[in-house]
C-alpha cells in the first residue's frame, strides 16, 4: 500500500506518524517547501508521483496559499475518490507575539528563522530604541495587546471548518505546549492527524504506538514568555527566553532590510495578522 502526502512543512511529520501507525505502508512525501509554481516539470512529477499512490492525503493549503489551488484541484479531480484532505495546523496560543513579516510578497528573515516579534517590529516602526522596546515585554502590555486571549481564540480555529472535520481538541491542554511555533506542531499533533486520517480511509493500523521522532523539533522554536506560561498554568517554560537577543536581532535585521523606511512592510499572518497593528496602537497610547 502506498500513501502520498502533499503539504507544507507539516507533511514530513504526518508521514513519520503514518509510518508509525501503519509500518507496512510506503509513504511518499511531496512538500511545497521550495517548490516554484513556474517549474512545470517539477509540478508534473509531483502530480504523477501522488497519483501513483493508492491513497493521497492533500493538505488544505489553498486557504493560506491560493496559488496552489489549481494544482490541488487538478490532483483531487484526477485521484478519483482516492484523495483525503488534512488540515493546516495553526495555533498561536503559546506564541501570540510571533508573526511573519513580508516585503513585496517575500518573507523577511527574523530573529528565529522567518519568525518575528510583533512587539519588537511595532517598536521599531514607532521609532523606539531597543532598550525601550525590551521594556515592552511585560504582562501589562500583553494584556492590552490581547496576548492572554490568544489561547482561547486559537481553540476556536481548532473547532472551525478549517480543520476539515479533524478533532484536535481532545487531549490537548494549555499546560502542555504542543506547538514549536505558530505553525510548527509538535509530533503528537501529527500523530493524531495520522490516526484519524487512517481511520477515515478505513486502513488497518496499530492500536498503540511509541511517539516517533519529531522532524520539526530541530527547527525554530519560539520561546514561551514567562507571563504567558503563568497565565496558562504552565509551571515553568521549557525554552530559554532571551528577549534581549530577540529584540536586538529584530532591530538589526529590520535596519538591514528596511533602512529608514519603517512602513514598507506587510505584517502579520498566518494568525494574529493584526498583532503588530495592535502593538503599535498600544505604544502610541501608552508609551509615546
Instruction: Answer yes or no: is pLDDT of 272 > 80.
Output: no
Mean pLDDT for all residues in the chain:
92
What is the pLDDT at residue 65?
87
Rg, the chain, Cα only: 20
DSSP string, 5-21: EEESTTHHHHHHHHHHH
Instruction: Answer yes or no: is pLDDT of 229 > 80.
Output: yes
Choose between 277 and 272: higher pLDDT: 277
Please give the share of the chain, as a percent, with pLDDT higher than 70.
95
Residues 61/65/67/72 CA torsion (nearest 10 deg) = 0
What is the pLDDT at residue 264?
66
Choose between 98 and 236: higher pLDDT: 98
Q: Which is it for the CA torsion 190, 195, 200, 201, positive or negative?
A: positive
Tell which residue, 65, 4, 70, 57, has the closest CA to residue 32: 65
What is the pLDDT at residue 104?
76
* Res. 237 pLDDT band, cuts 50 70 90: low
Instruction: Answer yes or no: is pLDDT of 4 > 80.
Output: yes
Question: Mean pLDDT over residues 179-194, rounded?
Answer: 97
Helix (H, G, I), strand (E, B) or coil at 83: strand
What is the pLDDT at residue 269?
55
Q: Which residues contact 277 (CB under 8 A, 6 or more apart)?
A: 122, 267, 268
What is the pLDDT at residue 171?
84
The Cα–Cα gap between 169 and 186 comes to 14
Choose between 180 and 171: higher pLDDT: 180
* Res. 259 pLDDT band, cuts 50 70 90: confident
Question: Mean pLDDT over residues 168-190, rounded?
Answer: 95
Render pLDDT for 111-142 as a digit per residue (tens, 0 to 9). Answer: 999 999 999 999 999 999 999 999 999 999 99
Question: Mean pLDDT over residues 51-63, rounded?
Answer: 97
What is the pLDDT at residue 253?
93
* Res. 97 pLDDT band, cuts 50 70 90: very high
Which strand (E) or helix (H) includes residue 3?
strand 2-7
What is the pLDDT at residue 270?
54
What is the pLDDT at residue 98?
95
Question: Mean pLDDT over residues 138-149, rounded?
Answer: 97
What is the pLDDT at residue 241?
76
Amino acid at each position: 500500500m502506498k500513501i502520498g502526502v502533499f503539504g507544507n512543512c507539516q507533511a514530513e511529520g504526518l508521514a513519520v506518524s503514518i509510518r508509525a501507525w501503519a509500518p507496512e505502508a510506503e509513504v511518499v512525501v511531496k512538500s511545497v517547501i521550495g517548490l516554484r509554481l513556474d517549474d512545470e516539470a517539477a509540478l508534473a512529477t509531483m502530480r504523477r508521483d501522488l497519483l501513483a499512490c493508492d491513497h493521497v492525503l492533500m493538505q488544505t493549503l489553498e486557504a493560506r496559499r491560493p496559488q496552489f489551488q489549481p494544482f490541488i484541484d487538478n490532483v483531487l479531480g484526477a485521484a478519483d475518490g482516492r484523495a483525503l484532505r488534512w488540515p493546516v495546523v495553526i495555533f498561536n496560543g503559546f506564541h501570540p507575539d510571533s508573526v511573519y513579516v513580508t516585503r513585496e510578497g517575500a518573507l523577511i528573515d527574523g530573529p528565529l528563522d522567518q519568525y518575528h516579534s510583533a512587539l519588537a517590529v511595532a517598536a521599531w516602526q514607532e521609532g523606539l530604541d531597543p532598550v525601550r522596546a525590551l521594556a515592552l515585554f511585560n504582562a501589562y502590555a500583553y494584556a492590552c495587546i490581547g496576548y492572554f486571549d490568544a489561547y482561547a481564540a486559537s481553540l476556536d480555529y481548532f473547532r472551525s471548518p478549517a480543520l476539515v472535520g479533524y478533532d484536535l481538541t481532545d487531549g490537548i491542554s494549555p499546560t502542555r505546549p504542543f506547538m514549536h511555533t505558530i505553525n510548527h506542531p509538535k509530533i503528537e499533533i501529527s500523530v493524531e492527524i495520522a490516526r484519524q486520517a487512517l481511520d477515515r480511509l478505513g486502513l488497518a493500523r496499530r492500536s498503540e504506538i511509541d511517539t516517533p521522532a519529531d522532524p520539526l523539533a530541530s527547527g525554530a522554536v519560539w520561546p514561551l514568555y514567562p507571563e504567558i506560561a503563568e497565565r496558562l498554568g504552565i509551571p515553568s517554560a521549557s525554552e530559554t527566553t532571551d528577549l534581549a537577543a530577540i529584540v536586538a536581532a529584530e532591530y538589526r535585521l529590520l535596519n538591514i532590510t528596511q533602512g529608514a523606511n519603517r512602513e514598507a512592510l506587510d505584517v502579520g499572518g498566518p494568525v494574529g495578522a493584526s498583532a503588530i497593528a495592535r502593538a503599535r496602537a498600544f505604544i502610541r497610547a501608552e508609551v509615546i
